[in-house]
Amino acid sequence: MQEAEIKIGGISVRDLAEQYGTPLYVYDAERIRDNFRRLSSALRGHYPEVSVYYAIKACNNLEIAKLLVEQGAGIDAASPNEIRLAQALGLSGERILYTGNSLSDDDLAAGLRAGVIFNVDDHGVLKRLFALGRPRCMSFRINPSSEDIATPDLTPFAGPSAKFGIHPRFVEEAYRTALENGVERLGVHMMPHSQASKPESFAHVTGKLLDLIGPVARKLGFQLEFLDIGGGLGIPYRRELPPLDVDAVAREVAAVVRRKCAEHGLKTPRLVMEPGRYFVGDAGYVLGRVISIKQGYRTILGTDISMNTMARPVMYGAYHEVRINGRGGQTAPMAMTGQVCENTDMWISEREFPAEVAEGDVVVLMDAGAYGHVMSYDYNGRLRPAEVLVDGGQSRLIRRRDTFEDLVSRMCLSEDIQKRLREAAGEASGQAAGG
Ligand SMILES: Cc1ncc(COP(=O)(O)O)c(C=O)c1O
């Protein structure tokens, strides 16, 4: 049975693959805007004061981040270079949230210079931070014990096995140090889960966080300016799962903030979120081609989507739906691999694919917008792919494909190698000119 062509923002994947080549990342601009509006209006519908940041680590192409900034997002940066990305988008100061890990003095100084909101992950860093300067506004990322937080979703970012956040034992000390150093505007942050799929997880985390910070704030006599419940909003990577009900997330979080603040004698703070995946995840696709169909111990679909093009499946066993454009009907079990010389590059070891699949077919890896291109690399000389944005029925390149010249450009090379590279480039351009 012939399946319909897969389209992204109205453009067929076959046309995109032909025009730009594969492997290729493609993003649907309207989907990104929709994702932002859905969350933002849910939060604003249930709570009076809200700030939404985009965790630019999820997809750092400035043309993608710009779509979100145009909708009103700030940027959550994880490093000085991500702060610079945010500044390139016209943002400054408190429109930038800075949530780093193991920050060096240079990293701290960069945040101070930029006047960002510091979201500090380790109270041990405060001595070095205050020796360098004083943020006007800051928060602390708290890491509750896994039993304390046990949310209905997994909690990989909290508890003893997580590298993130401040142990509850040190929370009071952290806030006291900030106050003693003259920081007057304080918030609190927690992000114990990622890819959370149940609305109640967010309310649960929020309640726990306020129970933890409430007594500390009362004892030290400060009010919370903001309450940041992180990102972590999940998307349904498996089509059979329902999408996260963000209206329920907002409603339940708003209710618990009001209740817990009243209980702890706190004024209701501004509510902050900084999702990454939720905004861009389902708006991105990787297009590749079936290059070979190898028969052996199993049938292996060899594609040009390798572990270095999309690292998530081999990096942490992430599931992505994969479709073969225009193919349907009967299926057969097959493996799918890329072109990299590693056995882990068999990133699907067995799944049902259309039996009529053929060499040259376009492969579409779904939900690739978050933690996709940002994690690509050039192992085996397989170069980082291009990125294309589809908007209003038009496509345009927003990052060119890496070239061999990119691969060698940052190597510091001896004269003989440089000479050979120049000669080879001259020959290649001569051949191209000669047709
Ligand atoms: C502090 C912080 N905020 C936000 C995010 C974005 O998470 P997600 O893409 O799951 O929304 C992350 C992801 O690692 C994070 O560490």
CA of 151 to the centre of ligand 1 (A): 17
Statement: residue 376 has pLDDT above 70: yes
Label residue 12 by pLDDT band (50, 70, 90).
very high
Q: Is the CB of 231 under 6 A from ligand 1?
A: yes
Is 29-280 in the same CATH topology as 7-26+282-402? no
Q: Looking at residue 435, what is its pLDDT?
A: 53
- Determine which one of 59, 261, 341, 412 is catalytic: 341
Q: Where are the beta strands (DSSP E) in 214-361?
A: 224-228, 270-273, 284-294, 300-303, 322-324, 331-337, 348-354
Statement: residue 21 has pLDDT above 90: yes
Q: Looking at residue 429, what is its pLDDT?
A: 81
* pLDDT tens-digit readout, 304-317: 999 999 999 999 99
Q: Is the CB of 300 under 6 A from ligand 1?
A: no
* pLDDT tens-digit readout, 346-362: 999 999 999 999 999 99
Q: Is the CB of 233 under 6 A from ligand 1?
A: yes
Q: Is the CB of 278 under 6 A from ligand 1?
A: yes
Q: Is the CB of 314 under 6 A from ligand 1?
A: no
Label residue 1 by pLDDT band (50, 70, 90).
low
Indicate which residue's Cα is closest to atom 10 of ligand 1.
232
* pLDDT tens-digit readout, 113-165: 999 999 999 999 999 999 999 999 999 999 887 666 666 666 667 788 888 99
Q: Looking at residue 433, what is its pLDDT?
A: 72
Q: How far is CA 1 from CA 321, 330, 331, 356, 358, in A?
A: 20, 8, 11, 9, 14
The ligand 1 atom at the shortest distance from the C-alpha of residue 277 is 9
Residue range 56-85: average pLDDT?
98
Q: Looking at residue 434, what is its pLDDT?
A: 65
CA of 401 to the centre of ligand 1 (A): 27
Domain assignments of the chain as residue spans, ordered by start:
7-26+282-402, 29-280
CA of 273 to the centre of ligand 1 (A): 10
* pLDDT tens-digit readout, 377-412: 999 999 999 999 999 999 999 999 999 999 999 999
Q: Looking at residue 4, what is its pLDDT?
A: 84
Q: Is the CB of 276 under 6 A from ligand 1?
A: yes
Q: Is the CB of 121 under 6 A from ligand 1?
A: no
Q: Looking at residue 159, what is its pLDDT?
A: 80
Q: Which CATH number fits domain 29-280: 3.90.1150.10, 3.60.20.10, 3.40.50.1100, 3.20.20.10?
A: 3.20.20.10
Return the percentage of the chain with pLDDT > 70, whole number: 97
Q: Which residues pair with 273 in a beta bridge?
A: 52
Contacts by residues 123-130 (CB-CB < 8 Å, ≥ 24 positions apart): 123/166, 123/170, 123/173, 123/174, 123/177, 126/174, 126/177, 126/178, 126/181, 130/177, 130/181
Statement: residue 22 has pLDDT above 70: yes
Residue range 183-195: average pLDDT?
92
What's 7-26+282-402's CATH class? Answer: mainly beta
Q: Looking at residue 294, what is its pLDDT?
A: 98
* pLDDT tens-digit readout, 228-278: 999 999 999 999 999 999 999 999 999 999 999 999 999 999 999 999 999
Q: Catalytic residue at 341? A: yes
Among 36, 54, 76, 282, name the best residue to mutate to test ligand 1's pocket (greatest count of ligand atoms within 8 A of Cβ): 76
* pLDDT tens-digit readout, 96-108: 999 999 999 999 9
